[in-house]
Amino acid sequence: MDDQAHAARATWNLLHDLWTMTPKCRRSLSCMDAAIRQARKDIDWLAVLPAQAAQAVLKTYHRAWVNRWEGRADEPNFKARFRTVMSVDIPQGRDLNVTRVHRRWGMVNIPKVGRVRFRWTKNLPIGKRAGKENRITGARLVKDVLGWHIAFRIQTLEPKPEPHQGPEVGIDAGVNLPLALSDGNHQDHGRSPRLPDKTADRDKWLNPDEKAKLLRLEQRAAHRKSFRKPKERTSSRLRNTYDQIRQLRATATRRAADWQHKTTTDIARTYGTVVVEQLNIPNMVKSAKGTIEQPGKNVAQKSGLNRSISQEAWGRTVTLLTYKTARYGGTLHKVPAPNTSLRCSACGFITPGSREDQATFVCKNPDCGWSGNADWNAARNILHLYRMGQALIPAAGKAVVRRTRGVKPATAR
């Protein structure tokens, strides 16, 4: 499987070179397909990749260019060896011949590899449950530091869900409080980034023993790296230490994704209308270093905030909520983000000094004086914007404000 993954990456790179060198008038799928077939005949190590998997690489590469032409993504580029996830696509499901051995394990047929055992984590349409409308259409092999994994593509017919009759809720994504809900049912993973140990901000999903082990491994790696001469090949012991570090990092990443999936599923099941704010996350995590002529301020603090925002994966949370709310019959809406954290959710005014503390909101309006969690205050403002008809409608890649007829945007209520 390692050889197939390397061959698939090389096929992508060869296709990319051939596509960019070929004049635009002569670029076509048929020409690229003929080139792949000839290359598999002439080069032995490219023939390790099954023919169907090579065709899948071509389809994926062409799909990447279509996404570029339609403005949904950047141009496809070269796949480097050490920065690319090793993967192999199996586009035909009829050759997999999936069988279940017992409760925890199953067997699958991998082309040019043979029968392979895999961990059974979800029910698959095999045997009597399989049919034209409920069947396995393919699979994808992916390798990370924890080993090889297989993801099955399944075609199934599901009934259209009934409209969700649950309540409305506004959600504000934060750092101190991961998901603040407007009704006070906040979702916290219990791993605050403001812990006394230095590794808490980076590896807060590891338990104390794992953090101590990670610290020992990093010290060991730094010690062994000090003996390596410039341009000298990395020793086996140092590579082994790096692999152990990556395994702990991958464990933390999986725990974070597991919490995110379970939390978003619970929200989609509970609420019929979910409202979030439209965030431009790439701009939020830009470095504050500045230039030589105009150096930035508080660079270290901004760098720590950027890491915390990236680890919380706000964009993935919205993506999960988008398809999960639709699955359970609910809807997800986005509202403009400006001033949601600065405006008081009780009186509706923006008064200077209300956000002196990062975690607490205290309204400085003499007639109000409301105080509470800052993220909760923002979540209430997000829900209010939706109820005032300020939801955003995506149109041609832009966000358009939808306002209810006869209702003006209010700064006070």
Phi then psi dihedrals of residue 244, to 5 deg: -65, -35
At 193, list the tokens. 């980034």
Nearest residue to 337 (alpha-carbon basis) of 170, 192, 188, 211: 170
Per-residue pLDDT of the chain in tens (413 residues, 90 and over written 9): 999 999 999 999 999 999 999 898 888 888 889 999 999 999 999 999 999 999 999 999 999 999 999 988 889 999 988 888 899 999 988 889 999 998 899 999 999 999 999 999 888 888 877 888 888 999 999 998 888 999 999 988 888 888 888 898 998 887 778 888 888 888 888 765 544 344 445 578 888 899 999 999 999 999 998 888 888 888 899 999 999 999 999 898 888 889 999 999 999 999 998 998 888 777 767 776 766 666 766 677 777 777 777 777 888 888 999 989 999 999 999 888 888 888 888 888 888 877 777 778 888 878 888 888 888 888 888 888 888 887 776 544 444 444 444 444 443 33
- Looking at the fold, whether 265 and 140 belong to one and the same domain comes out as no
Structural domain of residue 344, as residue ranges?
A: 168-194+257-402
Cα-to-chain-centroid distance, residue 3? 27
Q: Is residue 97 domain-shared with residue 135, that is, in the same domain?
A: yes
Q: Per-residue b/e over 75-97, b at no fewer than 16 CB within 10 Å?
A: ebeeeeeeeeebbbbbbebeebe
163 lies in a domain?
Answer: no
72 and 122 belong to one structural domain: no
> How far is residue 20's CA from residue 317's CA, in Å, rounded to a whole number?
36
Same domain, 29 and 133: no
Domain match, 80 and 97 both: no
Q: Is 103 found in the same domain as 82?
A: no
**212, part of any domain:** no
Are residues 175 and 292 located together in one domain of the fold?
yes
The secondary structure element, H or E, covering residue 273 is strand 273-278
315, 181: one domain: yes
Q: Hey, is 272 helix, strand or coil?
A: coil
Give whole-number Cα distances, 187 to 173, 321, 328, 376, in Å: 10, 14, 20, 11
| Total number of domains in the chain | 3
In a domain, 247, yes or no: no
For residues 102 and 44, membership in a common domain is answered with: no
Of the three residues 88, 120, 143, the one that is the final residue of a domain is 88
Global pTM value: 0.78
Q: Are residues 39 and 146 in the same domain?
A: no
Residue bearing tokens 């090949």: 233
Is residue 301 included in any domain, yes or no? yes
Q: Which of 41, 36, 44, 31 is nearest to 11 (CA)?
A: 36
Is 209 part of a structural domain of the chain?
A: no
Mark 286-325 as b/e (b = at least 16 C-beta within 10 Å).
Answer: eeeeeeeeeeeeeeeebeebeebbebbbbeebbebbbebb
Domain boundary among 69, 88, 107: 88
* Burial class (CB within 10 angstroms; exposed 0-12, middle 13-18, buried 19+) of 389: middle
Contact 61, 19 (CB under 8 A): yes
**The pair of three-digit structure tokens given for residue 362, joined into one six-digit string:** 């205290």
Residue 249 forms part of a structural domain: no
Question: Is the residue at 237 inside a domain?
Answer: no
Whether residue 236 lies inside any domain: the answer is no
Residues 35 and 121 in one domain: no
The Cβ of residue 119 has, within 10 Å, a number of other Cβ atoms equal to 9
**CA proximity to 257, closest of 192, 298, 216, 205:** 205
What are the angstrom distances between the C-alpha of 339 and each of 213, 336, 352? Answer: 43, 9, 12
Of 88, 117, 139, the position where a domain reaches its end is 88
51 plus 138 within the same structural domain: no
DSSP letter for 63, please. H
